[in-house]
Structure 1
Amino acid sequence: MKKFISALLIILCNTAGAWAQEQVAKTKEVAFKAGEQITYKLRYGFLSAAETVIKVEDSPLKFEGRPVLHINAQAKTLGTFNFLFNVRNEYHSYIDPATLLPYYYWENRKEAKYRHTDKVTFDRQKNIITADKGQFSFKGDVFDFLSCYYYARNIDITGLKVGDVLTLRYFLEDGIHPLTITYLGKEQTKCNLGTFNCLKFSPTIIPGRIFKKNSKLYLWITDDKNRIPVKANVEIVVGSLTMDLTQASGLKYPLNPVKK
């Protein structure tokens, strides 16, 4: 059960940013602003299993003398799943409002009896990441998963073709990890807030005790200026997991569902 709930939270917290491609240019206009708040829920069949709330806020802190935006996410299990494997996780990223690259990231995870914290500093002049487990050198753009999500929403995808494989790099705990994502085209999909015109992607997943050998993870992102993930779905050994957008406020642009 612990592995099952962990899989739920991985999908809820990490797939939202899983489609960046560092070789593609960033759009000139930023797709979000301070004050934005979005909420996702994960369902196992008909059961609500977990929820994440992500906020963008102005911060009084400065890094390298520059103002930053503070992105924070709170993830928790719901209902019956609290008794099976209670989770209360929080994640924080401080990003440059112009480049959208992170300066600092920290997390505090409480998963049943398990406890984990990490503090990560990105030194882009020396190309060194300093975390609780040591220092790690890097080249190019590397993100934590929160800053990756918000950077990805600003990727210029005008030249993207069906079948193109994108790659991102993110730092987590003990190193820099790659993730590949395949673009599948445009498709309408329905979430709790309505039906939206979307861009569809398929991030890679690793088969194991939770996922089937041929399991596919699908992710739908609004085909508008917001570029908000509205839904994700993956088959597991028994049943399937679905992530839905359930709340969105403070958006820079109107969220326009398809009118029927």
Structure 2
Amino acid sequence: MKKYYLILILLNGFIGAYSQDQQATKTKEVAFQAGEQITYKLKYGFFSAAEAMIKVENTPQKFNGHAALHINASAKTIGTFNLLFKTRNEYHSYIDPVTLLPYYYAENRQESKYRHSDKVTFDREKNVITADKGKFPFTGNVFDFLSCYYFARNIDVSHLQIGEKLELRYFLEDGIHSLTITYLGKEQVKCGLGTFNCLKFNPTIIPGRIFRKNSMLYLWITDDKNRIPIKAHVELVVGSLVMDLSQASGLKYPLNPVKK
């Protein structure tokens, strides 16, 4: 993945916050429903850099006769950052509403002069992923990054101990990738919609042009039935980037900010 930029990094980080590969146990009740829409703002220091929106929709489209839910995510730079590094990204995932496993994934990324699109089909009878760059065999639960995020929201995390490391697998662009995440405990965290009781995680990141060797990525997810990420903070070579929940509607369960 040569073009792995900040918005995609944070979205993938949100996904991985508590996925456990094949050992994950899904809760009985699904944490989301069609009609849910979540919006995030990204800030670089004091400057607004970008915004991202993720929504869940019913769809008449079927896969091998099976019904599906459509997850649609978009991310774009705003303000001055359009001049520095204009980004317009769209992601689509069609998932089984019961197992939450993906049938099909598509993306269209426009990041400055870079362009990339992909169409990905998951064949679970043959255990083969077919994408624009070829065919990729797999075993166990492998997701695209959108379906992985929504599956992760339904993982039973009641047994987690501080310091425990988890792993997820997802397909993106050129193969199946893994991400390791460490559980750091519980905290109260403030976002654009109030202060919430949260679970805190630390996904690993790879040092490079935008990250220092010891850069850290922290994620906070609501400690309730919604299990939605409300904030992320990642350290860069210069400064830091914060992703903050700014809007949420159509949730299956009401948000419960801490009352002061």
**Which segments of 5 or more consecutive residues in structure 1 lack a partner in the other structure?**
none
Shift of 1:196: 0.4
Partner of 1:130: 130
Structure 1 distance, partners of 2:88, 2:208, is: 25
Cα deviation for residue 158 of structure 1 reads: 1.4
For 1:197, the equivalent position in structure 2 comes to: 197
Deviation string 1:197-247 (CA, Å, 9 cap, x unpaired) is 000000000011211111110000000000000000011111111010000
Instruction: Please state if 1:21 is matched with 2:20.
Output: yes
Which residue of structure 1 aligns with residue 250 of structure 2?
Answer: 250
**TM-score calculated relative to the size of structure 1:** 0.96
Partner amino acid for 2:11?
Answer: C
Whole-angstrom CA distance in 1 between matches of 2:108 and 2:41: 20
In structure 2, the partner of 1:45 is 45
Contact 1:8/1:50 (<8 A) preserved: no
| Alignment correspondent of 1:180 | 180
Q: Which moved more, 1:129-138 or 1:16-25?
A: 16-25
CA distance in 1, matches of 2:214, 2:113: 32
CA contact (8 A) 1:199 1:220 kept: yes
State how far apart, in whole Å, the 2-side matches of 1:112 and 1:212 are: 23
Q: Does the CA contact (< 8 Å) of 1:12 and 1:40 recur in 2? A: no
How many percent of aligned residue pairs carry the same amino acid?
76
Runs (5+) with no aligned partner, structure 2: none
The Cα shift of 1:24 comes to: 2.1
Distance 1:62 1:199 in 2: 35
- Residue pair 1:166, 1:181 contacting (<8 A) in 2 also: yes
Alignment of 1:35-184 (within 5 A): 35-184=35-184
Q: Distance in 1 between matches of 2:184 and 2:87?
A: 33
1:67 & 1:113 partners in 2: Cα distance? 37
TM-score, normalization by structure 2: 0.96
Distance (Å, rounded) in 2 between the aligned partners of 1:111 and 1:244: 21
The alpha carbon displacement at 1:85 in A equals 1.4
- AA matched with 2:168: L
Superposition CA RMSD, Å? 1.0
